[in-house]
Chain A
Amino acid sequence: DAKTTQPPSMDCAEGRAANLPCNHSTISGNEYVYWYRQIHSQGPQYIIHGLKNNETNEMASLIITEDRKSSTLILPHATLRDTAVYYCIVRVDGGNTGKLIFGQGTTLQVKP
């Protein structure tokens, strides 16, 4: 699975959009981009995933660049409860494995 690079920490004002970047310059054509987050002392929570098209769900939007070497997770209106560590993971999809390789992630601090 491709390696990802994320900034170690970011701040965001409550109510503003949080944009979390991820670099995955060695991503292969069949690898998907996944985002999970982990709120303190809880298990990670799935947020969203995509291949090359932008994706949106009730939690967030995922923007993937045309060359697929980077992506951005967008939380449109961050709240204090969005304070967490956010992990960007790339892996081959096809549903044939539950294995996830986590990096160090980005600690997002949402401030009032």
Chain B
Amino acid sequence: KAGVTQTPRYLIKTRGQQVTLSCSPISGHRSVSWYQQTPGQGLQFLFEYFSETQRNKGNFPGRFSGRQFSNSRSEMNVSTLELGDSALYLCASSPATGGLGNTEAFFGQGTRLTVV
């Protein structure tokens, strides 16, 4: 079974630009969650999508948005980039369809975003 795939792996953007990151979950997984990891704040939950609907949201400004497609692939978008958005962005997929044994999250390798 293929793991979680995130593209691109590395990205350099300029302040003010926007960026779109992609995540392909494990086949059959309907939940995709996004996380931001920085040295200062650690791993922080951004949002979760399940069956094309946002199900949970973390405490991030509206510049951070996402969506999920019918095949469960997900994208996250950051508009008007700031220097502080430089981070490792991680995506995780899980079945999350209810019931015990369906809660393990599998993470991708992440996208390293650098804003200059």
Contact of B92 among A43, A96, A104 (CB under 8 A): A43
B100 touches which of A95, A97, A103, A104 (Cβ 8 Å): A95
Main secondary structure of the interface of B (DSSP, over half): strand
Establish whether residues A98 and B109, one from each chain, have CB atoms under 8 Å apart when the complex forms. no
Of residues 10 through 56 on chain B, the ones whose CB sits less than 8 Å from some CB of chain A are: 31-33, 35, 42-45, 48, 50, 55-56
- B56 in contact with A97 (CB, 8 Å): yes
Q: Which one of B4, B56, B96, B108 lies within 8 Å of A95 (CB-CB)? A: B96
| A16 CA to B11 CA, complexed, in Å | 40
User: B107: which of A44, A94, A95, A96 is its contact (CB, 8 Å)?
Assistant: A44
Interface of chain A: mostly helix, strand, loop or mixed: loop
- A44-B90, A104-B42 known; A98-B107 Cβ under 8 A: no
Judge whether A68 is part of the interface by a CB distance below 8 angstroms.
Answer: no
**B105 at the A/B interface (Cβ < 8 Å)?**
yes
With A95-B100, A98-B94 in contact, is A43–B45 under 8 Å at CB?
no
Tell me whether A95 and B90 are in contact (CB under 8 A).
Answer: no
What is the distance, in angstroms, from A61's C-beta to the closest C-beta of chain B? 17
Asked whether, in the complex, the Cβ of B42 is within 8 Å of the Cβ of A98, the reply is no
Using CB atoms and an 8 Å cutoff, list the residues of chain B in contact with chain A.
Answer: 4, 31-33, 35, 42-45, 48, 50, 55-56, 90, 92-110
A-B contact pairs, 17 of them (CB 8 A): A32-B103, A36-B105, A44-B107, A46-B104, A94-B99, A94-B100, A95-B95, A95-B102, A96-B98, A99-B33, A100-B33, A100-B45, A100-B105, A101-B45, A102-B42, A102-B43, A105-B42
